[in-house]
Amino acid sequence: MCRLEYGEEHVAIRDGTPQETPDNVVQPFGTLAIGLYASEAYIRKHGQPRGDADYANHYFVGSDDAESRAPFSRWLHEAVPAERIVFRCSDILHYRDAILAGGGIGFMAKWDAQRVEGLVEIAAPRDDWSAPFWLVTHVDLHRTTKVQTFLKFLKEEAKSWEIGL
């Protein structure tokens, strides 16, 4: 990971809670909408949950990090019995592949799920599952023309992205 404080990067996009470093300027960039999805194959084999109370009767794909800071991961570990999380991994691509293969119900970004055929939305994105993003710059470079030009460009471009930012 490059570090702003050493000039290895000028602008960073970070997720999670904003860093409270006095040398950095942190600006909200957007929030990624995250929902619960399952493949049509999973639904054919196990049926579709009839609401939150029915989740204990279904199989889930989740993070192998029980201490994850991701809001949706924390929710999953609190709301679903551990034995119902049948596939765990730390790689987002394997996580996605497991959902698509019918391994269980899992979280995906809404923009990604909408681009994949054969997925069923189990639960629409919720605010408490969302992933906030932040633009971070070092205070010494924040006001430079190149950084301000890039930030303006990035914010304008993000308006057209279909990712929920």
pLDDT tens string 54-112: 999 999 999 888 788 788 999 999 999 999 999 999 888 898 999 999 999 999 999 89
34-129 CATH fold: D-Maltodextrin-Binding Protein; domain 2 (3.40.190)
Q: Which long-range contacts (CB under 8 A, 24 or more apart) does 44-48 make?
A: 45/102, 48/120, 48/122
Tell me whether the CATH fold assigned to 4-31+131-158 matches the one assigned to 34-129: yes
Domain boundaries, the chain: 4-31+131-158, 34-129
The pLDDT score that the predictor gives to residue 129 is 92
Q: What is the pLDDT of residues 122-164, one digit of tens each?
A: 999 999 998 888 999 999 999 999 999 999 999 998 887 766 5
- Average pLDDT, integer, range 29-37: 91
Burial 74-91 (b: 16+ CB within 10 A, else e): bbbbeebeeebbebbbee
pLDDT of residue 7: 64
Residue 165 has pLDDT above 60, yes or no: no
pLDDT in the model for residue 159? 83
Q: What is the pLDDT of residue 30?
A: 86
pTM recorded for the entire structure: 0.79
pLDDT-based confidence at residue 5 (cuts at 50, 70, 90): low
* pLDDT mean over 17-32: 85
Q: Which CATH number fits domain 4-31+131-158: 3.40.190.10, 3.40.1390.40, 2.40.50.140, 3.10.450.630?
A: 3.40.190.10
